[in-house]
Structures are given as C-alpha cells and as structure tokens.
C-alpha cells in the first residue's frame, strides 16, 4: 500500500514536470523555430531595443531553457527573486511568476478565480451525478420501456449538443426571455441568492451535458454487470432483488463512474473554458483563455499546472477509492 502510494506520487510529479515542459515548449520553442522573438511577443512590436533587453534580463529569457524551467520550479516550491536594474522583487512561494500583461503576481489572480470555478464544477457535479446515475440505473432496470427510450433519447441529444449552444439558448429563454434568473456572476460573499441565481443556469447547462454522458455510461455498465455470474449467484442464494441491485450491482457499476468523475472534475478545475465563456463567469477558464490570446505565459503555466495537478490528484483519489467501493480490487 505504502509503496503503491509512493509510486503513484512519483508518477504525479513526473506528470506535472512533463506538463510544464510542454507548456514551456509551446511558448518558447515554437516561436524560436518560426523566428519570433519571445520578448517582442510580450512587450509589443513597437518596443525599443532597451526595453526588450530589460524584459529579457528581468524574466531570464536569455538563460538556457533548462535554467528557466528550474527557476520556475524553484519559484513554486520556495519562492524566487527577480532582479532588474538593481531592484529586487521577491515573490514568495507558491510563486508562479508575474503576468506579462498586467504585471500582477499570478498566484493571487488564480486564487481569486479558483472559487468561481470550484463552485461551478462542484455544483454541476452534484446535479449531474444525481440525474445521470438515477436515469442510467432506472433505464437499465426497465430496459426497453418507454422511460428507457425517452431517457436515452434525451441523453443522446445531450451529448450531441455543444455546451455553448445550450448555454446561449438557456440564457435567451430563462434569463432574457422570462427574466427568471440573473445572467451575471455575483460573488457568494456579496449575496447568496444573487450568486445562486447567477449560477443555476451554468450548473444546469454543464449538468445536462455530463448528466447525459453519465446516464449512458451508467446504463451500459449496469446492463453488463446485471449479466455477471455473481449477480446470478446472489439471486440463487435468495437475496432479494432490491438488495442485489443496491449491494451487488451498484458497487461495480460505480467503479467506471468514479473513474470518469475523477477525470472530469479534475479537468473542470482548469476552468470549464466553454461554460465560463458562454456565461461570462470570471473563473480560471476565462482567465486562461484571455492569457492564451495575449500569450501571457506565466498565467497559462499557472492554470495548466493547477489543472494537471487536479487531474492527477483526482485520479489518485479515485484509485484509492476503488478498493473501498469494489472489494475485488486490491492495490498492489
């Protein structure tokens, strides 16, 4: 168990380093190949040579890429100092550097936006798990019934609709047309009802897409599981059907669901880019999309690393949960 954990944690670290290298590669190597000076990318094409030199020196752009990566890593763990023209700027851990555009420290920006994304993802996940699991299980048990057909028809539509279209449609109908809910984000500290009113459409939109996926997966897994030998054994032993479903079938049905949930929640931590764009939610996704447009590397690196860590940590938790949910799984 302990060796398993250590091995997994090592894998997490490797994963994060690779993700970081990939982002560095995209934003430093590709411009190099194509002959674009990174410093002009950040300072604007009109800047004079002295300004460009200053930027290069301050950000360490003239250092070898290895040194830059190392500095960045060091910054996250213990903080780092930026030296330029005699001034020293200390950036304490976790230091993700300073935004090239706004010159603010990246970490506070991210910390500011994290609650929005977290609220969106968790709220939506609660809804889609409830809907998806219930619809999937009932569909599997009443296979071929009207309920099954209707639920699966809706689910198939759900996975075929782009989220920004359902989002816009729901905004046009429920916010603009009927005036039922707000189309603006209000922080939860300011006013809970306002926050709720602004979040309900994003939640439902996101939950519609994911609920549809989970319903399909739940149904398919459940049908598969109900055909397994151990279910027949349980029935043969005289276990009543509700107990067979709850205690025997549900457990193994949950395994792939939990797997998917780990990946999805982790990925959403990096910002549900499309949902946040559609509903103008000031979350991580919106921040990173803007940063990508402005080629603001430190911000992109920050969000990417947060997402990647969220995904790998979620996967780790999921793997540990397997043992609890499914007694057949033994971690080695």
Partner 1 sequence: MNVLLANGPLQRRAWLVIPPAERGCSPTMTAPLHDASAETAPVDPALAGAGDDAKSIEGRSLGRIAWNRLKRDKVALTGGVVVLLLILIAVCAPYIVDLLGHPPDQHHEDAIDPLFQTPKGSLGGLSSEHLLGVEPGNGRDIFSRIVYGARVSLLVGFLSAVVAVVVGTVLGALAGYFGGWLDACISRVMDMLLAFPQLLFIISLISVVPNEMFGLTGTGVRLTVMILVIGFFGWPYIGRIVRGQTLSLREREYVEAARSLGAGRRYILFKELLPNLIAPITVYTTLMIPTNILTEAALSFLGVGVKPPTASWGQMLSQAVRYYETDPMFMVVPGVAIFITVLAFNLFGDGVRDALDPKGSR
Report the residue number, 88 or 160, with the smaller CB distance to partner 1. Answer: 160
Question: Which one of residues 23, 95, 234, 254 is an interface residue with partner 1 (CB under 8 A)?
Answer: 23
List the structure tokens of 120: 């969106």
Which string of x and - marks every residue 217-246 that binds partner 1 (by CB under 8 A)?
A: x-xxx-xx----------------------
Q: Distance between CA 183 and CA 170 in Å, rounded?
A: 10
Contact (CB, 8 A) for 283 and 199: no
Q: Does 169 bind partner 1 (CB under 8 A)?
A: yes
Among 110, 288, 299, 318, binds partner 1 (CB under 8 A): 288
Count Cα atoms within 13 angstroms, Cβ side, for 178: 7
Nearest to 124 by CA among 210, 244, 34, 30: 210
Joined tokens for residue 230:
């151990």
Kindly state whether residue 159 participates in binding partner 1, applying the rule CB under 8 A: yes
DSSP 98: B
Burial 57-80 (b: 16+ CB within 10 A, else e): bbbebeeeeeebbebbeebbeeeb
State the nearest-atom distance from the C-beta of 162 to partner 1, in Å: 5
| Complex with partner 1: residue 82 or 304, whichever CB lies closer | 304
Among 6, 36, 93, 122, indicate the residue that binds partner 1 (CB under 8 A).
Answer: 36
Q: Which stretch binds partner 1 (CB under 8 A): 11-19, 64-72, 83-91, 235-243?
A: 11-19
Give residue for tokens 């107990």: 243
Examine residue 154 and tell whether it contacts partner 1 (CB under 8 A).
no
DSSP string of 105-132?
A: BHHHHHHHHHHHHHHHHHHHHHHHHHHH
Please identify which residue in 126, 156, 324, 331 interacts with partner 1, judged by CB under 8 A: 156
Question: 97 CB contacts (<8 Å, ≥6 apart)?
Answer: 72, 75, 91, 105, 106, 298, 301, 302
Could you list the residues that contact partner 1 (CB under 8 A)? 15, 18-19, 22-23, 26-27, 30-31, 34, 36, 156-157, 159-162, 164-165, 168-169, 171-172, 176, 213, 216-217, 219-221, 223-224, 256, 260, 263-264, 266-267, 270, 273-274, 277-278, 288-289, 292-293, 295, 300, 303-304, 307-308, 311-312, 315
């Amino acid at each position: 168990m302990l060796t398993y954990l250590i091995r997994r944690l090592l894998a997490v670290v490797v994963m994060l380093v690779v993700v970081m290298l990939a982002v560095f590669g995209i934003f430093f190597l590709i411009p190099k190949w194509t002959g674009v000076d990174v410093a002009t990318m950040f300072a604007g094409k009109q800047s004079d040579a002295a300004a460009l030199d200053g930027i290069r020196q301050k950000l360490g752009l003239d250092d070898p890429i290895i040194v830059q990566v190392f500095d960045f890593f060091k910054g996250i763990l213990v903080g780092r100092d930026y030296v330029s023209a005699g001034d020293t700027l200390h950036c304490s851990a976790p230091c993700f550097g300073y935004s090239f555009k706004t010159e603010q420290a990246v970490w506070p920006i991210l910390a500011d936006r994290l609650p929005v994304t977290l609220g969106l993802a968790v709220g939506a996940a609660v809804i889609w798990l409830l809907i998806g699991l219930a619809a999937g299980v009932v569909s599997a048990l009443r296979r071929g019934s009207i309920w099954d057909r209707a639920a699966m028809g809706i689910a198939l539509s759900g996975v075929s609709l782009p989220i920004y279209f359902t989002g816009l449609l729901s905004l046009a109908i429920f916010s603009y047309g009927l005036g039922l809910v707000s189309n603006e984000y209000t922080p939860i500290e300011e006013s809970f009802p306002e926050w709720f009113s602004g979040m309900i459409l994003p939640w439902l939109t996101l939950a519609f897409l994911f609920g549809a996926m989970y319903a399909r997966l739940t149904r398919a897994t459940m049908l598969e599981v109900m055909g397994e030998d151990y279910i027949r054994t349980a029935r043969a032993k005289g276990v009543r059907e509700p107990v067979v479903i709850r205690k025997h079938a549900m457990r193994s049905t949950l395994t792939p669901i939990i797997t998917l949930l780990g990946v999805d929640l982790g990925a959403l931590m990096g910002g549900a880019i499309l949902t946040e764009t559609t509903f103008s939610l000031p979350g991580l996704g919106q921040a990173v999309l803007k940063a990508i447009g402005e080629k603001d590397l430190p911000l992109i690196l920050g969000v990417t690393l947060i997402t990647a860590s969220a995904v790998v940590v979620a996967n780790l938790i999921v793997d540990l949960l397997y043992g609890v949910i499914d007694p057949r799984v033994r971690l080695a």
